[in-house]
Amino acid sequence: MLTQLLLQTVHLPWSRMAGENIQQLTLHAAWSAANERSLLWQSAARDRRSVEDAARRVEDAFSTESVEAMKSLAFAAAWHCANQRRFFFSDAEKDRRSVEFYAELLERLTSRELASLVKRLCWNAAWHAANTRSMMWKDAAKDIRNFQHVAAELAAFLGEDGNDGNGNGDGDDSEGFRTPFGSDSEEVEAEGRHGHGEFSGLSLGGIPRGNANGGANGGGYSNVSAAHVHDVRHSTNSEAISNAPEPFSVLDEAIFGWRETSMKMHGDEICASSFVSAALGTIVVFDSFGKMLQSFQADMRKNAKMIQQHVSSDVSLQGLIDGESKKAGSYAKALVEGSAAMGLLWLMRALRLLEKTLHVVLEDAEQPLHKCIQMGYEGSLKPHHNFLTRNVIQAAIMAAPSRAIFLSKLCPDPGNPKEKIQEFLKFYSPVLQKAHTYLLTCRLET
């Protein structure tokens, strides 16, 4: 109670902002872990910078030690949820223990009431981001409501008037609150939900990272690479949350990435770093194809990383491959495992599969999804697969979900999937066409 009494008594300007800044800290920490686990590295890096910005503002109201405890608590909860959703259970358990440690530390530094509120805020923000990245919309929507409830409790505890809905710009870069909002007011306890919701079936693979104390566990706590994918801007004030103009679509991530890639093109030259970022952001779209087709995702991640390891700041895709061919003696000789040329060739084939599939989905409203994917496969990867691989892929395609389920995952707004797909293809197809033309010109593609 001492913290609350001090804030209510002194009435300093920062006392009315502390709760909002703590919200920002927990939200950006949550998205940092969720984005890094989804390979959205520059988005994760941006969120980590936002965490530091929010932490500096919180230090106006609390000691540096208390803010560091809050920050570590937020990252530990974020990594627990992100690891849980990606089936890294051992890491998730370590992160859960870190949550308890930092919550106890925060309690000793401040008060039991404040530590409990911050801990609950961290859990709900973390589950929201992790569930959104796993397309578990219903669970994520509950997490939003829980976050709002706890945020209101925190504001009351700190003696704040609460957010009046006008906002002050602090939350403009937050990536929170991006799932469909239901009317159900049920509040679900977020803390420690190992079995919260059903597993999404995603397994995106591990990203090497550091931990709070320089170890291998993750948490507060990770070093992040760079690759820019999106900049979806949503205010975190209660009015913006409750109004929620439109449901979040997994295509929104990809649309931003390919729009940015288009803007950075110079003639036919494609910015390599933007291309890789956009491709990585597009991988999540393949989640909508069902669990049996996850091999596409694994191959795309591998091939994107093959390109990325050769990318310098402003190099173009064409310049990157031209440089490799010059060193190797020819384009054909540059096509070796681990090269950017090999990565681009196979990544492009998978990206064109998605493009062709979506074109069929738009053109023939009666075509079942598995037939749309089949047509996309035949026009992209199939000619380059051997007999055994073709049979495996064919069986996986037959297990694709229904067209209706696919569209609901792709775009939760039932009245908007066609327009959203068209918007995606408007930026996606021209970039792919230029990259494909280049591969044909170099005789890397046949």
Q: Which of 163, 196, 222 is the last residue of a domain?
A: 163
Separation of alpha carbons 230 and 285, rounded Å: 14
Does any domain span residue 181? no
Could you tell me if residue 194 is inside a domain? no
* The total number of structural domains that make up the chain: 2
Cβ neighbours for 68, distance < 8 A, ≥ 6 positions apart? 55
Domain boundary among 139, 163, 187: 163
Q: Is residue 33 part of a domain?
A: yes
Inside any domain, residue 199:
no
Cα–Cα distance measured from residue 427 to residue 423, given in angstroms and rounded to the nearest whole number: 7
Alpha helices in 214-339 (DSSP H): 238-243, 250-263, 272-282, 294-308, 317-328, 331-334
- Type of residue found at 366: E
Alpha helices in 12-88 (DSSP H): 18-37, 41-58, 64-85
**Which pLDDT value is given to residue 246?**
42
Amino acid at 310: H
The answer to the question of residue 178 being in a domain is no
Helix (H) or strand (E) holding 430: helix 417-441
For 309-312, the CB contacts below 8 A with 24+ separation are 310/339, 310/340, 311/272, 311/273, 311/276, 311/340
The pLDDT score that the predictor gives to residue 182 is 35
Secondary-structure percent of the chain, ordered helix, strand, coil, rounded to 5 = 65, 0, 35
Question: According to the model, what pLDDT value does residue 422 have?
Answer: 93
Q: What is the CA radius of gyration of the chain?
A: 23
Predicted pLDDT at 16: 52
pLDDT computed for residue 295 by the predictor: 72
Say yes or no: 293 and 420 in one domain. yes
Left, alpha or beta for 87 (phi > 0: left; psi -120 to 50: alpha)? left
With beta carbons less than 8 A apart as the criterion, state whether 26 and 74 touch: yes
Assess whether 259 and 125 both reside in one domain. Answer: no
**Residue 105: C-alpha distances to residues 70, 98, 114, 217, 423 (Å):** 9, 10, 12, 19, 48
Residue 366, in any domain of the structure: yes
Q: What is the dihedral of CA 333, 339, 345, 350, to 10 degrees?
A: 150
Identify the CA nearest to 25 among candidates 132, 151, 138, 130: 151
Main-chain phi, psi angles of 91, to 5 degrees = -65, -40
pLDDT of residue 414: 61
Looking at the fold, whether 149 and 265 belong to one and the same domain comes out as no
pLDDT reported for residue 161? 53
CATH number at residue 339: 1.10.3520.10
The pLDDT assigned to 405 comes to 87
Domain match, 322 and 424 both: yes
Given 129, 163, 197, the domain boundary residue is 163
User: Same domain, yes or no, for 12 and 141?
Assistant: yes
Judged on CB neighbours under 10 Å (0-12, 13-18, 19+), 383 is exposed
- Determine the pLDDT at residue 193: 43
The string of pLDDT tens digits covering residues 173-188 is 434 333 333 333 333 3
**H/E stretch holding 14:** none
Tokens of 356: 């062709």
Assess if residue 198 is contained within a domain.
Answer: no
**Are residues 264 and 148 part of one domain?**
no
pLDDT tens, residue by residue, 227-242:
322 332 233 333 333 3
**What is the C-alpha to C-alpha distance for residues 397 and 292, in angstroms, rounded to an integer?**
7
Q: Do residues 154 and 264 share a domain?
A: no
Q: Which domain holds residue 343?
A: 250-441
Between vectors from CA 145 to CA 142 and to CA 148, what angle results, nearest 5°? Answer: 150
Tokens for 407, please give them: 């569209």
Contact at 8 Å (CB) between 273 and 384? no
Q: What is the pLDDT of residues 397-414, one digit of tens each?
A: 998 889 988 888 887 766
Share of the chain above pLDDT 90, in %: 40
pTM metric for this prediction: 0.52
Tokens 């995702």: give the residue: 297
Residues 179 and 248: beta-carbon distance below 8 Å? yes
**CA 15 – CA 160 distance, rounded (Å):** 7
* pLDDT tens by residue, 89-139: 878 888 888 899 889 989 988 999 999 999 999 999 999 999 888 878 888
> Between helices 18-37 and 137-157, what is the axis angle to 10°?
150
- For residues 256 and 398, membership in a common domain is answered with yes
SS3 of 196, please? coil
Q: pLDDT by residue for the chain (446 residues), tens digit each?
A: 333 333 333 333 334 578 899 999 999 999 999 998 888 888 889 999 999 999 999 988 899 888 999 999 999 999 999 988 887 887 888 888 889 988 998 998 899 999 999 999 999 999 999 988 887 888 888 998 999 999 999 988 887 654 433 333 333 343 433 333 333 333 334 444 433 332 222 222 222 233 332 222 333 333 322 232 233 223 333 333 333 334 456 787 788 889 989 998 988 999 998 899 889 888 888 878 877 777 778 888 889 989 989 987 678 999 999 999 999 999 999 999 999 999 999 999 999 999 999 999 999 988 999 999 999 999 999 999 999 889 888 888 998 889 988 888 887 766 678 888 999 999 999 999 999 999 999 999 98
Query: Among all chains, which residue has been given the structure tokens 């970039």?
Result: 431
pLDDT at 38: 84
Give the pLDDT score at 55.
92
Residue 201 placed within a domain: no
Helices of type H across 366-416: 369-378, 387-398, 403-410
